[in-house]
């Protein structure tokens, strides 16, 4: 109930963006392989940013 007022952390925002880009890359893999590869690269960059955030918290 009180979760609606909670702000998303940077990690949560990146995870949502990562999932959206991975879904788009999968959809593009059936149509245009080059664009799909570009989206995969973008998703991997986001995953690296998430790992960087996790490593600074430890």
pLDDT in tens, 22-56: 999 999 999 999 999 999 999 999 999 999 999 99
CB 10 within 8 Å of CB 50: no
CA distance 20 to 17: 5
pLDDT at residue 4, as a whole number = 75
CB 53 within 8 Å of CB 14: yes
DSSP the chain: -GGGGPPPPHHHHHHHHHHHHHHHHHHHHTT-HHHHHHHHHHHHHHHHHHHHHHHHH-
């Amino acid at each position: 109930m009180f979760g609606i007022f909670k702000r998303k952390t940077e990690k949560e925002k990146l995870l949502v963006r990562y999932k959206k880009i991975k879904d788009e890359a999968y959809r593009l893999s059936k149509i245009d392989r080059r664009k799909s590869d570009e989206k995969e690269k973008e998703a991997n960059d986001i995953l690296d940013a998430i790992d960087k955030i996790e490593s600074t918290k430890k």
